[in-house]
Amino acid sequence: MAACRWPGCCASSRAFPPACATGYTGRKDERRSLGESDYIHLLDGAHHLLKAPLIVVWDRLNTHISKAMQILVAQREWLTVVLLPGYAPELNPVEGMWAHIKRSLANLAARPLSNLETLLRRRLKALQYRRAILDGFLAGTGLTLDRPD
């Protein structure tokens, strides 16, 4: 990969920031999101760094389910892709987390939007350190996460 315009990125480190992967520069007619080749490049880099097979759980974003992506995934024996159903909030632990946050904001009257944003950031940061609650969001989906020993 050629060196990019992001400091400390491709040329000097093993980092893989999305801004680098997309090459998005902010131009009006430029694609803002990752394409098939960007995703595969990201996964190839992760596989190279981790030196292990990867299991990726994807939603049904058009880029994830395209014919081009299916071909690229089929060419990589070390890559397993699991697609979520079309709409399955009950399988998404993030839905439980947002429900928890919304309950904590009941009857809140934040005047400027910036106050609400600050409060949300604080609540999300606090959740980051409460492992039992985070595990509960996953348990609420009925899914399990096998952690390596």
d(CA 92, CA 45) in angstroms, rounded, equals: 26
pLDDT in tens, 109-140: 877 888 888 889 999 999 989 989 988 998 99
Is 54's pLDDT higher than 90? Answer: yes
Pair 1, 10: CB distance under 8 Å: yes
- Within 13 Å and on the Cβ side, how many CA atoms surround 62? 2
Provide the percentage of residues in the chain whose pLDDT is more than 70: 77
CB 117 within 8 A of CB 92: no
Q: What is the pLDDT of residue 57?
A: 86
pLDDT (tens digit, 9 = 90+) per residue, 77-87?
Answer: 999 998 888 88
Q: In the beta sheet, which residues pair with residue 79?
A: 54
Band (66; pLDDT cuts 50, 70, 90): very high
Q: Which residue has the tokens 């000097």?
A: 12
Closest CA to 127 of 138, 142, 143, 115: 138
CA–CA gap between residue 96 and residue 146 (Å, rounded) = 20
